[in-house]
Chains A and B, each alone.
Chain A
Amino acid sequence: MSTEVSAPVLADSSATASPDGQAAEAGPRWRRSVNNRIRRSWSGYALALPLVVFVGSFFLYPILRLAWTSFVISDAAGGLSFTTAPFARVFADPYARGTVIRTFRVALVSTLLTLLIAYPLTLWMRQISAKWRGIVTTLLLSPLLTSVVVRTLGWTAILTPSGALDQLFELVGLKGPSLLYTEAAIVIGLTQDFIGFMVLSLMTSVLRIPDSVIRAAFNLGARPLDVIRRIVLPLSVPGMLAGVSIVFPLTAGSYVIPALLGGSRNSTLGTETYNQAIILTDFPRAAAIALVLFFMITVVTVILTLVTRKVRKVIGS
């Protein structure tokens, strides 16, 4: 009995001979039958048990408690009742409403900016050698391995009144914009932070476009801009959607960048969650704000997933 449990085989890894995981289950029939027997074994559960217990009790349970805190109120008699009052309060309060709208606006603008900046870069990276592509990717990602505080402090020095940017303006005789503690500063910080993620997502799509298709278009007399607009751009839509669905949640949920670059006047749902919870210790309200943030991210992600599914059907990949 023990031998069938002990065989260290798995169907998945033998099937991933091709990079895009398209290959079907390979191998002789006897091996597959062994695999099928292993599937019914308990060792998978045993190996996953610590993960399930840990994430269940230290992540899932606290998250549910958070939702409970904002949805359920207990009265003096100990009875429980469902409430949406914390949410109603968030949307009734013009300040909190402004925070919701600002968070969405800032996240949307910085996500689109990363896309606009990263896309031409990715197209160029497609046509350089793999070695240089690796070097550029590493350089792009290297700031991510420093603390977000460090990255943001650099912007503080650049954007502060009479900081590096203002001095650059004065050099050509203009008045500097003194961007620190504005929404623009938050957008700049977020855009810098997440360009690397966008490039990675776009790259998977852009590298997959076959050269033959582009070459054919050129041979038939298409100009570079036509090739981009009518061939490359449509084929890289899945990569764009993937990038947006990675970057948008990160920008919307960020804390340090809006706190340090936006100042107290430009609160976002991230900074507001912290202020309500830690400074004002109003847990139900903090939980409601965190949940509004979570819903915003979830709705955007679901929409993007649905659009991606539709696009993939059209492109046929």
Chain B
Amino acid sequence: MSKPTSVRIINPKVGLIWCGAVLIFVIAPLFIVLAVSLSAAKFTSFPWDQGFTLDWYLEIPLDMELLEASWHSLQISFGAALVATLVGTLGALALVRHDFLGKGVISLLGGSPLFVPQVMTGLALVIGLAASGVASGFWILIIGHIVITLPYVLRTVSSTLVGLNLNLEWAAMNLGATRLQTARLVLLPQILPGVLSGAMMAVIVSLENVSLSIFLAGPSYDILPVWLYNYASNQFDGFAASVSVAMVILSLAGVGIVQKSVGLERIFGADFH
């Protein structure tokens, strides 16, 4: 029953080698970080003739600054994801299911944070909100993270909504369900996987963000990626590497969930309207 594959243009062997080389280029740096995190050497040198150790990992729970920044990161990321998911899901419902004057403009506005470099968004938030004392610390960070994660939620939920079978909702309404009942009992269960994936995507985007956060975080309120960036720009040692690996392992768990329910290519894909 399998569909015949497409006509060959590229020599399969050459293609396979090319693909392997690209994957090594893309993924190898991550394994280097893993190797550095396990190296007993004080500085990153090659080869690792000084043996392997887990000592760097054991230092993680002892660094109070790091732990505090991680706790802040969790608060910011999950808080931002929650708000972005609520606002973004309602927005996606409006943009996919309704037609109204100015819809195009609103759609553009919702996606616009993706089209402005994050350093500019960060600077704008500093000038527009932080410098005038409107928000600082926790609040300015969470606002910034909601802004940059909203487009991802909009995209994910929209793509779920577009593929939805409307007959179920028509049937529910025909049988006398109210609008709210239909939304809660028929619509919500159908879009829930998409909504959760959008939320997970928002958490991941927020947890790894540096370009925007570096403008908004400071010594008084630091978050994990900024802490790691600042640490690593001074020295790259096994400690920075072990924190990185810990972060990767945590985000891989999230990736698994997203990939299962929506698929990465639908989130990163260019077909956003």
Contact = CB atoms under 8 A, between A and B. Distances in A.
Interface of A: 2, 5-14, 16, 38-39, 41, 43-48, 50-52, 54-56, 58-66, 69, 117-118, 120-121, 123-130, 134, 136-158, 160, 162-164, 167, 192, 195-197, 200-201, 204, 211, 214-215, 218, 224, 227-228, 232, 242, 246, 249, 252-256, 259-260, 270, 273-274, 277-278, 283, 286-287, 290-291, 293-294, 297, 301
A24 B232 CA distance: 54
Given A48-B90, A62-B124, A158-B28, 9 more contacts: A41-B100, A43-B98, A63-B128, A127-B7, A138-B264, A141-B265, A158-B29, A256-B211, A290-B119
Nearest to B170: A9
A283 B26 contact: no
Most chain B beta-carbon neighbours within 10 Å: one of A145, A151, A301: A145
Given A51-B90, A66-B120, A200-B270, A259 B233 contact: yes
Interface in B6-32: 6-12, 14-16, 18-19, 22-23, 25-32
Interface of B: 2-3, 5-12, 14-16, 18-19, 22-23, 25-33, 35-36, 44-47, 86-88, 90-91, 93-100, 103, 106, 109-110, 112-113, 115-121, 123-129, 131, 143-144, 146-147, 150, 154, 161-164, 166, 169-170, 173, 178-179, 182-183, 187, 204, 207-208, 210-211, 214-215, 225, 228-229, 232-233, 236, 240-241, 244-245, 247-248, 251-252, 254-255, 259, 263-265, 268-271
25 contacts: A5-B179, A10-B99, A13-B161, A44-B98, A51-B110, A51-B154, A52-B106, A58-B147, A120-B18, A124-B10, A124-B14, A126-B6, A127-B8, A130-B3, A140-B26, A144-B268, A146-B244, A146-B251, A150-B228, A153-B232, A154-B33, A200-B270, A249-B115, A256-B210, A297-B115
Contacts of B178: 6
Contacts of A5: 179
Nearest to A268: B119
B244 A55 contact: no
A63 B119 CA distance: 11
A201 B268 CA distance: 10
Contacts of B150: 51, 54-55
- Which are the 8 A-B pairs with shortest beta-carbon distances? A154-B29, A253-B117, A124-B15, A62-B128, A44-B98, A6-B179, A51-B91, A47-B94
Most chain B beta-carbon neighbours within 10 Å: one of A12, A64, A242, A287: A12
B120 A290 contact: yes
A211 B46 contact: no
B185 to A, nearest CB: 12
A177 B128 CA distance: 44
A158 B32 contact: yes
Contacts, number: 359
Contact of B264 (A127, A141, A228): A141
Contacts of B225: 147, 149
B117 A294 contact: yes
Contacts of B93: 47
Majority secondary structure of chain A interface residues (helix, strand, loop or mixed): helix
Contact of B120 (A63, A146, A163, A227): A63
A138 B211 CA distance: 24
A157 B33 contact: yes
B91 A297 contact: no
Contact of B95 (A48, A154, A224): A48
A288 to B, nearest CB: 11
A282 to B, nearest CB: 11
Nearest to A217: B7
